[in-house]
Amino acid sequence: MTGFSVDLPDATLAGEFRRGSGPVPLVLVHGFGGSRHDWDSVVMALGGDTSIVAYDQRGFGQSRASAGIPFSHAADLAALLDVLVLEQVDVCGLSLGGATALELALDKPERVRRLVLISPMLAGWCWSAEWVELWKEIGRAARAGDLDLARMLWWQHPLFASTRVSSGAITLEQSIAAYSGRQWVQDDQRSQEPMAQRLAQVRASILLLTGGLDMPDFRCMADVLQKTVPNIVRVDDPTAGHLLTLERPRAVAMAISDFLGS
């Protein structure tokens, strides 16, 4: 993988590119609090024929952001593709990265051939009371300046229950330790209309990968996707949770390869 750094007007996106022989590159978009390195096990399991772009979304990992300036992760991704001169790509997004991938497919349908969504989030979702209370507790700790407590609460979050007892636990722990916590204090993403209202407009073919042990909010979002998107195939692993990329990296890589090669 070859590293790159792309300057946008109010941010810098860091990432890595692997050039393969395949016709369409695959862009990997990580989840909240993570970085491109969360994909390392999946990338290792993907065949060398696949050209891969893995990058840190604005404000995460090694990417930088100017505070107080509203932005869109999907618009950032479109700008990144412009700089890398990639007219059309396949996109694989995990959790928050799934929302980024979906928004790009909705706003720039000509740029996205196929989508792989892993435990995806839908922007504008009406979260359950359980999720909101857990999120507020983490936010209170971060805003009080106790990032060690905020990180501990995030590590203990039910979202990661199955990952904590999997072979991916060390990677998750390292990822949380490296997270700056900035978005717990202030997140400058532009507010969006509920994405669920736009899903019927998605033109790209979608592979939806979900875990049966994921939290109810994400299970519900996946159900909405499955029922609404015209061209979608869902593969559900009843023994996995939210972070399939850490719990089942080889299975995820095989599913991606099969889907993109079909």
Question: How high is the pLDDT of residue 20?
Answer: 85
pLDDT value for 106: 97
pLDDT confidence of residue 261:
86
The reported pTM is 0.97
**CA pair distance 98, 82, nearest whole angstrom:** 20
Alpha-carbon gap, residue 66 to 115, rounded angstroms: 29
Task: For residues 21 and 28, give the distance between their C-alpha atoms in angstroms, rounded to a whole number.
Answer: 17
Q: Report pLDDT for 256.
A: 97
One pLDDT digit (tens) per residue for the chain, 262 residues: 899 999 998 999 999 999 888 789 999 999 999 999 999 999 999 977 889 999 999 999 999 999 899 999 999 999 999 999 999 999 999 999 999 999 999 999 999 999 999 999 999 999 999 999 999 999 999 999 999 999 999 999 999 999 999 999 999 999 999 999 999 999 999 988 899 999 999 999 999 999 999 999 999 999 999 999 989 999 999 999 999 999 999 999 999 999 998 6
The pLDDT of residue 22: 77
Residue 262's pLDDT is 66
Q: Residue holding tokens 């504008």? A: 124
Q: Which domains does the chain have, with CATH numbers?
A: 2-125+188-261 (3.40.50.1820)
